[in-house]
Amino acid sequence: MSPCLSKPCWLQLDNMINFSNYTPQTTMKKQLLPFYLFALSFLPTSAQNLVKGDYGYLFCHMSDRGEYTAYAVSRDGYNYQDIKGGDPIFDPKEHARIEGGTRDAYITRAYNGKGYVMVTTDMCVAKSKVWDNYGIDLLKSKDLVNWTSVTFDFRKGMSIFCDGKTAKSPYRDWSTVNRVWAPQIFWDPDYCWDDGQKGGYMIYYSMLNRAEEQYDRMYYSHATKDFTKITTPRLLFDWGYATIDADINLLADGKYHMLIKKEGGTPGIYTAVSDYLTHGWGEPVEDDYVSFEGKKKCEGASAFQLIGDSTWRVGYIQYSDRPKHYRICKADKNLRNFHDPVDIQGVTGPQHGSFMRLTKKEYKRLLKLNSRP
């Protein structure tokens, strides 16, 4: 299986048609418009998650009160209200079949707008007493409340991957896998399956096999449209030191921007950039990162945009203090120049999570959960 795409489609069209020489009033541009639309139909579409909703925000997160997934909602992106008092939105043991904990929840809309998908780290430190784990959980829902799932235990090796019989394995021995951390989702409409079908969810995560590699590295798989199968992991990049907690977004410049916690050089949360989703990820510049926390340690970055705002907000955990702080800072439209951090408000035990825009109907539906016994 291989991706059959390249750059975002509008960058490819720029190479074919240069509209900069034409004004909106010119006849030439009107004549070129049909060709533009025709050419667009043959180009790869840009990989990106579906964003919908102009009423509020969902913060879907691991709770510091336990290794489970909780919800909080907000109208302004800063001040939140717990759903179900910050209790589990579902029973973690039902979905995390390896260790019974659903950490680092990442949620987004299904590619076709019909439902929602989520990934979590299957891990329970309270049970295992170590900072290791062995797999991830893929969940899907039609209503944000009722979830079904499948668990992937990476120790079982190539047999769990849908292309396991033909793909090249990144490891000689999967039984020694130590970590599969913080998975996230990015819809890739141009991924090509063996049967010629196109479209899959890129699932990216850090992984460590201490017997075969020296540090955590970023890998990726692709999940089927029904969110039940994944491909064999491939290395996303290797910068020569540990990297975890990646968060990829497609920005207005047509490039993919990745928030990443790096542990080489000056450790911290940085932004890396690539023209391509699954390769071309060079190291971030050293002087542009979440530096205002000083020597305090930060991780678990998640970027989102406020409704009607072209700049970004970045949520992250500052975990050197006790209690820990979940903070939201501002960034410019290129996910750089981090500034103005504030603590998130109204969330009980906020930890590593993600943000999703909500419609009014969705917002009200979640609030109704607070009235249930």
Q: Is the pLDDT of residue 67 over 90?
A: yes
What is the radius of gyration, based on Cα positions, of the chain?
21
User: Running DSSP on this structure, what letter comes out for residue 63?
Assistant: E
Q: Is the pLDDT of residue 240 over 80?
A: yes
User: Running DSSP on this structure, what letter comes out for residue 354?
Assistant: E
Q: Is the pTM of this model over 0.85?
A: yes
Share of the chain above pLDDT 70, in %: 88
Please compute the mean of the pLDDT values over residues 291-310 and round it to a whole number: 96
Q: Is the peptide bond before 267 cis (omega within 30 degrees of 0)?
A: no
All domains of the chain in start order, with CATH: 2-40 (no CATH), 56-371 (2.115.10.20)
| The two three-digit tokens of residue 35, written as one number | 């060709």
Tell me: the pLDDT tens digits for 98-131? Answer: 999 999 999 999 999 999 999 999 999 999 999 9
Residue 47 and residue 190: Cα distance in Å, rounded?
Answer: 7
| The two three-digit tokens of residue 84, written as one number | 């179900």
Q: Is the pLDDT of residue 16 over 50?
A: no
The one-letter code for the residue type at 89 is: I
Contact 150, 135 (CB under 8 A): no
Tell me: the pLDDT tens digits for 264-288? Answer: 888 999 999 999 999 999 999 988 9
Contact 1, 231 (CB under 8 A): yes
Q: Is the pLDDT of residue 26 over 60?
A: no
User: Running DSSP on this structure, what letter comes out for residue 166?
Assistant: T
